[in-house]
Amino acid sequence: MMDKKVACGTILGFMIVIILFVVCVTIFSHATTTKPRENSLGVITYTINPYIYEAGSIIDYAIIGENEGLAIRVKPLATYMLFDETILFCGVPAEKLDGHENPMVLVYERQSHHRIDGLGCHELVGVRDIKGEKEAQ
């Protein structure tokens, strides 16, 4: 029969080996969901579209802080009259909004990059006009 000290030492040694194995596996494993994939040419490819497209009319806006952000209320197309959405943009991208008329398409990044008063703000990529049927002809 084994001595109690030998048995405890064996169990302790076995536990140390298991802990070291788990630590090594954790250190050498590389799993991430935030980095885009690269192909053999070195070109970045995404698994999801990094942009959101909001089609509608701007019904109200507010500048947050000292030009820290711009909150825009949008009445999306093809929804009922009382429905609206608010989008917070980083900075005041007035130059991208100048010269555009309602309705329009706002293109902004899906991921927020900064925080303003604890809320994530998005980078406005571009604005596109939606032309009516009479104007398009």
Write down the pTM of the prediction.
Answer: 0.64
CA–CA separation, 88 and 128 (whole Å): 18
> How many Cα neighbours within 13 Å face the side chain of 106?
27
* 117 Cβ contact list (under 8 Å, min separation 6): 64, 65
Instruction: Give residue-wise pLDDT tens across range 47-94.
Output: 789 999 999 999 999 999 888 999 999 999 988 888 999 999 999 998
Is 17 strand, coil or helix? helix
Instruction: Give residue-wise pLDDT tens across range 100-136.
Output: 999 999 999 999 989 998 999 999 999 999 986 544 4
Domain residues of the chain, as ranges?
1-31, 51-132
**Which uninterrupted H or E stretch holds 135?**
helix 133-136
> For residue 74, which of 90, 85, 61 has the smallest C-alpha distance?
85
